[in-house]
Structure 1
């Protein structure tokens, strides 16, 4: 499928020699900068080292087909079925442990099993500006991309396994992250636009995360009267079995207040603080030629905060998409603008159904379906997504 010169296009990339499905989305703005999301999933059984080799080869083939070199790689997340026992194979893989000159990609490794027979699956994000070498550099667990007056900062895999229980570990993670931000004269409230909190045994440990995050946010002026941060809080684990919480984050240095708008759809979903948690439903970040629309983890919830369709994963999926559609509409976006989805499923028996439901809802849009219980036991499925829409705002910074 041909991709448009301006806007979002979807493409399935086929390599008959490899048992890997590859789908890609591309957004091209009028300033010439292209953004790509790639999802790769093995479709045949093998040990993790073999599947990683397949993914490497399929990723290389896809990048060649799309005209992307190693310098365009910004962020990867590898979804693993048994991370603690897969670390050796991951350390030997250039996807998980980049070693090529110019490959500054930051990599997140999380134990969230993909749909079998896959033991490991990949989400990759690339930025390409024809004729331009991206200005990227590493600071610890963060990749920074300097573009004009903005610095985009992707942080992966923050843990504090010696910090005690989930509340203490969450506090320690946020303290460590704020120290990184402070060194760049950035703050949680003004510059962080997206977080992911991965919680080992979410049913038991999510409450500790919630309490610690709420307290820390209140200290930083993040309240119901101001704003929170778009986020996903979901089952997931780091390689270290002592770590009960892990965080990934995206912040933008130099972003202006007028670029950021938090999304809501009160007829469909209540504010999260109504049921004791502290995140935004989504956020739209406007740039000169595009607006990023980042939708938080979204489930089958109503305007009063109640679970809709308990026990019915199909109807919960339908309601989830109704809610996402309402949030996208608040940003003047539609499902046609979405370039990637992550889908979290509680019951392994529902993984195949979730795959069929996602095909019905989104077709070939890059998607990963993962075994990852949602933060409230009654929610059987949760979905997050990212969209980009064309914008003409010459007064704003370029992406």
Structure 2
């Protein structure tokens, strides 16, 4: 097993000493899987990891899941991480409906498996061939240990003053239209939030909406969300929630919309910053949608910056570089960098990216372009048309930077 010339101690020590995101590759033994990961370790000694694993040879989905599981366990073992340190796994699948039996048969990809519990999401977004399924995972390594438990479709991480909540695969199939299903999703989610003394406005940091046939069903989502947000006081004069709304087939055939979400209980509004870069991107409400371009959350020794789905757009909401996917990626990265600079961060602080392309033939180009610009940062390139047909690529991700905020809780 190899890690691009570095051993585990060198990797961890470099991250700990620099308090900066460090990206690496890992070569598992006996399985054709590419593994990339990012690590950030703050002054507190708490380390955060993001992993991206992708099969590099053809195989049926059952075989590819075996490969992924083996590679995943190998890299965790090599980094001295317990499986129980995992808080979130997203499986990006070429055909989640037909692949569901195999996903359920593997413990690490089964949303109901509780030994140990983890938030598990399935999304129908075909990855770059030959992969039929790829894995994105987040882990937290605290020398003092972490306490996690499941509450329905949500994983809850108890951190004393704070609690972190990852909700996955939320659907509203008791209704038919994308508008009504979105309404049902929020009704159910608000019940969960209320049960844990949280609200949409004060505690939800990030959402992801996966829309089947986005060119048809996206309008129902955004109208339903906008109406609800207005009732909850989420407006252009207050704030919205960082979000991505993108093509993605929910695992349930009747679902037109599915949601993943992340909330933090106990958070003080002084910890949260809503990010704009008006010289690059205009406010979203100008063209009828309601989400923040980015949201930053500060803790005692670090800041998380959640970048919403970001495309090649100008301040007036126009598409930049129509028809040229490579130049659109460059502009999207420029926009992300502009948002990060508002927080004192840069592209080198990103722990990874999702890249959504409309045309499957662009996947390889986007992968190679990321590699040329950003090196070994984890990147998942999937087929997932953006809400406007002229946008050929959209990107999102999270950055982490070191801070010194003794007045705030530990992450």
Deviation at 1:99?
Answer: 7.8
Aligned equivalent of 1:200: 212
Counterpart selection for 2:261 from 229, 236, 249: 249
Q: Give CA deviations for 1:245-289 in whole Å, capped at 9, x if unaligned.
A: 000000000000000001110000000001000000001100000
SS in 2 for 1:172: helix
Aligned equivalent of 2:380: 368
1:235 aligns with 2:243: no
Alignment of 1:320-399 (within 5 A): 320-399=332-411
Residue 233 of structure 1 contacts residue 297 of structure 1 at CA under 8 Å; is this kept in 2? Answer: yes
Aligned equivalent of 2:152: 140
Counterpart selection for 1:85 from 98, 104, 128: 98
Long gaps (5+) in structure 1 = none
Residue 338 of structure 1 contacts residue 385 of structure 1 at CA under 8 Å; is this kept in 2? Answer: yes
Residue 266 of structure 1 contacts residue 303 of structure 1 at CA under 8 Å; is this kept in 2? Answer: yes
Cα-Cα RMSD: 1.1
Residue 95 of structure 2 contacts residue 126 of structure 2 at CA under 8 Å; is this kept in 1? Answer: yes
Long gaps (5+) in structure 2 = 1-5
1:46 aligns with 2:59: yes
Counterpart selection for 1:305 from 312, 317, 326: 317
Instruction: Give the alignment's TM-score, normalised by structure 1.
Output: 0.98
Q: Distance in 2 between matches of 1:156 and 1:308?
A: 33
Change (3 A) 1:101 1:83: closer
Residue 20 of structure 2 contacts residue 40 of structure 2 at CA under 8 Å; is this kept in 1? Answer: yes
Q: Distance in 2 between matches of 1:332 and 1:124?
A: 26
Counterpart selection for 1:279 from 280, 283, 291: 291
Moved more, 375-384 or 100-109: 100-109
Deviation at 1:60?
Answer: 0.2
Counterpart selection for 1:176 from 166, 188, 198: 188
Aligned residue pairs total 398
Deviation at 1:100?
Answer: 7.3
Aligned equivalent of 2:49: 36
Change (3 A) 1:11 1:210: same
SS in 1 for 2:330: helix
Residue 367 of structure 2 contacts residue 379 of structure 2 at CA under 8 Å; is this kept in 1? Answer: no
Q: Distance in 1 between matches of 2:104 and 2:160?
A: 34
Q: Give CA deviations for 1:36-69 in whole Å, capped at 9, x if unaligned.
A: 0000000000000000000000000010111110
Q: Distance in 1 between matches of 2:339 and 2:20?
A: 19
Residue 162 of structure 1 contacts residue 242 of structure 1 at CA under 8 Å; is this kept in 2? Answer: no
Residue 56 of structure 1 contacts residue 94 of structure 1 at CA under 8 Å; is this kept in 2? Answer: no
SS in 1 for 2:323: coil
